[in-house]
Amino acid sequence: MSVLKGKKVLLGISGGIAAYKTASLVRLFIKAGAQVQVVMTPASKDFVTPLTLSALSKNPVYSTFYDKEIADTIVPNPDAKELWNNHVELGLWADLMIIAPATANTLSKMANGSCDNLLMAVYLSSKCPVYFAPAMDLDMYKHPSTLESFQKLQSFGNIMIPAESGELASGLSGEGRMAEPENIITFITLDLEAKLPLKGKTILVTAGPTYEAIDPVRFIGNHSSGQMGFDIANRAAALGAQVFLVTGPTFCKPLYPTITVYPVISAEQMYNQCHECFPKVDVAIAAAAVADYRPKHIASQKIKKAAENFSIELEKTKDILASLGASKKHQYLIGFALETENEIENAKLKLQKKNLDLIVLNSLQDEGAGFGKSTNKITFIDKNFRIEAMDLKAKTAVAIDIMDKVCAHFMTI
């Protein structure tokens, strides 16, 4: 999955011949899963039509501070309203902004705060990272005033996508050609990935239930769907981490190629796989619902329904979380506690006994929490017994809260 998926991208287009490439650029952003909103300078409409960009982005294209709303396209409507295009809202909407092509004229305006069109007003209102892709003829690109604009804009924190060398519209050949749309997408993707807060970190996540065999066809299990663990793994990967996901039987699927899945069935298999991965990770999050007991003896053949009463002798499974806590060195260890009574006290005891850094408490007393639901309601308790109760949320939002704790941990060390 691309790091651009779900991102809100504001594309500013200024009036240069390279504007014709922006149709492909919009298409590539959409293909990567981004939302795209286009703002054009009036001059750029001479090179590419707003209709084309609107059709590709599936959004209106803005180029002026206000539009006249015509109710009747045949007979002019004297009562038509003038609709203000709110440059502040556009600037605040975006997760990132890119100005491509960025002509010498537009770069100068950006560098000096000149605000004579909607695009410049949006740029000055934006709070997000701003990329710019220069496009102009060779001598213009090398001119001291242009070089000064480059330097000044980068000192503001804007990110320059260098122009490429090649044949220019003038017929000359050299530097000044706007980067190709594919290269712009690659540049932004790599830049965003490099800035992800968990880039270079490795995280172990356990998910799902375990099944403890009774005979070849029956098992002891629980109702865990694995969704919470998979949501945590997906969020960790979205933040740049390499993820080892050890999961019991589930229908859930990972969303990112940086998630390595280790499917297991039993608690014993999960124990072994976790201990194989644990020395290599920076964080471990134990979200799996591991069986506490398993049949002491597993029948080699299907048990027939013969006797009126039937008993199974159980034995304890290995405590995965406690064993990880006992062997941890640098790892940040998070466990889950599912309780039905004395929730806070039981969770604190588990936190201490298993040498955890943070515990995520679920209570079956809370409506909307527990197995098989799309929501969860949790309470965080850290090793200093600080308690933070969260509202009922979708499990994807809970995963964000959990990974925010992980990010906060790395900011303090």
Beta pairing, strands 283-286 & 202-207: parallel
Cα→Cα distances 282→329, 331, 401, Å: 10, 5, 18
Q: Are 134 and 143 in contact (CB under 8 A)?
A: no
Options 222, 272, 346, 355, the catalytic residue: 222
Q: Are 335 and 351 in contact (CB under 8 A)?
A: yes
DSSP bridge pairs for 316: 293
Task: Give Cα 219 to chain centroid, integer Å.
Answer: 37
Vertex 362: Cα angle to 357 and 366 (nearest 5) = 150
Q: Which of 99, 132, 334 is nearest to 232 (CA)?
A: 334
302-265-249-368 Cα dihedral, nearest 10 degrees: 100
Respond yes or no on whether the N-terminal peptide bond of residue 50 is cis (omega within 30° of 0): no
Vertex 101: Cα angle to 99 and 105 (nearest 5) = 90
Q: Which of 396, 381, 296, 282 is nearest to 339 (CA)?
A: 381
Q: Which of 183, 149, 143 is nearest to 163 (CA)?
A: 183
Q: Which two tokens stand for residue 220?
A: 């002891």
> Does residue 376 carry a catalytic annotation?
no
Phi, psi dihedrals of residue 163, rounded to the nearest 5°: -70, 160
Catalytic residues: 222
